[in-house]
């Protein structure tokens, strides 16, 4: 992120074997994003992916079922430094996320001992270790409602919120345009609002994409992190294309 490198990742909704991380590494992908809100990996599975990701230097991002203290604490202590926080509607929610994700003086994250989150290494002087760990955390918040956009500037300006994005389907549903001819236009307008807020407040813009053309457009607009497709969609599309050709 500090080098301003454009990064492409993908959702992992179905794969449960952390050995798949070696496959993702070989493809050249920049990160994987595990979804706990809409799929069923256990906390043990997340822990295994976190350990493998750290060993391979392949970042793992997780969307928890809810962005609260319980989930944030557990994920960080497992070594998941990149958290995608769903349904962030108010500055108060964002402040709770910041407090849970950073140690003092930036927050009030629960103190742990030697954990996967610090590679079981507590040799660094404690205050230096807390600062170092705080600096590794990367928090992205999802704007998924009209209410959230009422507080866009307030949330975007908060120290400890690193990246902004939208949850396109939930947002379209809340705005009343899901499945209508206006959906794409309205979502593009909301993406533009997010991008403008990140530029104004010096934050990173992260978006989801479903096509190469959309990915290129987001990159050209200044989006630095794009989550492209998913393991499920790539498998379905790949098999359908292959079977169509094989069956002639």
The residues annotated with a catalytic role in the active site are 38
| Distance, CA of 45 to CA of 89 (rounded, Å) | 29
Give the other-Cβ count within 10 Å of 83's Cβ.
Answer: 23
Give the other-Cβ count within 10 Å of 93's Cβ.
Answer: 18
Q: Any alpha helices (H) in 151-211, and if so which ranges?
A: 152-156, 168-175, 183-201
| Distance, CA of 159 to CA of 154 (rounded, Å) | 11
| Distance, CA of 5 to CA of 12 (rounded, Å) | 22
Residues 6+ apart with CB under 8 A from 74: 43
Task: Indicate the DSSP class of residue 117.
Answer: G
């Amino acid at each position: 992120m500090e080098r301003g490198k454009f990064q492409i990742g993908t959702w992992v909704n179905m794969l449960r074997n952390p050995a798949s991380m070696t496959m993702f590494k070989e493809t050249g992908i920049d990160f994987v994003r595990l979804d706990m809100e809409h799929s069923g990996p256990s906390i043990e599975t997340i822990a295994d992916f976190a350990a493998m990701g750290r060993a391979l230097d392949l970042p793992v991002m997780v969307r928890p079922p809810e962005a609260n203290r319980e989930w944030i604490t557990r994920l960080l202590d497992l070594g998941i430094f990149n958290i995608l926080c769903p349904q962030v509607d108010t500055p108060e929610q964002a402040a709770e996320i910041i407090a849970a994700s950073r140690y003092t003086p930036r927050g009030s994250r629960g103190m742990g001992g030697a954990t996967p989150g610090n590679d079981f290494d507590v040799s660094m002087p404690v205050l230096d270790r807390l600062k170092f760990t705080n600096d590794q955390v990367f928090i992205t918040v999802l704007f998924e409602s009209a209410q959230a956009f009422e507080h866009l500037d307030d949330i975007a300006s908060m120290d400890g919120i690193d990246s902004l994005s939208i949850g396109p389907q939930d947002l379209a549903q809340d705005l009343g345009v899901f499945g209508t001819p206006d959906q794409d236009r309205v979502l593009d307008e909301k993406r533009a609002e997010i991008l403008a807020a990140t530029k104004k407040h010096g934050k990173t813009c992260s978006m989801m994409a479903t096509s190469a053309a959309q990915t290129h457009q987001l990159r050209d607009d200044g989006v630095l992190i794009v989550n492209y497709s998913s393991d499920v969609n790539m498998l379905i599309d790949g098999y359908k294309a292959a079977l169509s050709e094989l069956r002639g």
